[in-house]
Chains A and B, each alone.
Chain A
Amino acid sequence: MDFVIATQGLTRRYGSRTVVADLDLQVPAQTITGFLGPNGAGKTTTICLLLGLIKAHAGTCQVLGLPPGDPAALAQLGALVEAPSLYDHLTGRENLEITRLMRGLARPEVDRVLGLVDLARDARRPVREYSLGMRQRLGVALALLGEPRLLILDEPTNGLDPSGIQDMRQLIRGLPGETGASVFLSSHLLAEVEQVAGNLVVIHQGRLRYQGPTEGLGEGPDLELVLRVGDSGRAQAALLPLGYTARAEDGQLWVQAAAGDAPRIAACLVGAGIELYELAPRRVNLETRFLALLEQS
């Protein structure tokens, strides 16, 4: 498999504090990879390491097959790190023009990216008049200039309204297919990542906790069954011989099982004389699995 980002033992310290520890990343080409972690997990530091903005204290790193910060690699990648870097006294178009000139790109490139982020109508307004969401979209447009092979986006949906988030999601989702670009998407909006990313990288306290397909995050099935019963304790005891572990929460019983197991579980509980008021499947969302993973670590 072709990897656009590959690191081995990547480590970065600030003073005595290790912010990124022994990180082994492999980001496949032409995919959207979500980069998840709570605040302070080391996401932005990792991105800065990948872009060559800071140096690693140990380990190796390759971006598009080249060392981080290599001009040949930078020419093929677009990045939005933290807040977008924008000159407020200039228009949106002029801000794009600056990056276009720095990268030596053709003039129509500016119109192309303005269209992609739906800012063509506001392109001649000064950026100081832009809303937070428009600034964010302009930041993404800056990263899209030159049709990069790899896009590194740090919290691109920050400040966007629901329709803006949806537009951004559609834009990012379409990139691998339309331009062949790979996207490395850092976000704390877990549900957001779940909807666009085929692969996930989860870090916590600078260490890698999970790397692989989104659906593979955590263990156990994708579904849980939620039950409302007369006696939770007896129900838990009755389900145990069948191999189901149930946890009581908020007066309900949660059983890790597929929807197809529902008749068997219902029969077991009714057979044991336990009153069953409700039994329904609930999809386990990424957030639940993500939080469980962080708890484990």
Chain B
Amino acid sequence: MDSIRALIVDDSSVMRKIVERSLRQAGISLSQVFEAGNGAEALGALRENKVDLILCDINMPVMDGLEFVKQLATVENAKGVPVVMITTEGSEAHVVQALSAGARGYIRKPFTPDQVKEQVLPVLARKP
């Protein structure tokens, strides 16, 4: 698999680093990693940059992950970019909400690099 550009959206900088490390541990080669602390920042980053994959938390200040996913269609650079949610919110309702909003995968915290791999690789393989 070619190197990919990833956007990691989480209000915790520690969690952003953990997600990046988990992607690398999962064998995913990252050519560039962008970070955002909430959905609004992430939309701003996507207006300036193209990415191949977005990993996003749900509970964040300013704009949460579900609202961010809904608004992705308004950003030209983000069209068709797969989103995988990574969150402590583990209910079926949250999973359904996230997938209905446009997310392609869902990882519950705590997670292992293998779980990241299981969710992310199929999503990248389906990428148009």
Q: Do these two chains really belong together in a complex?
A: no
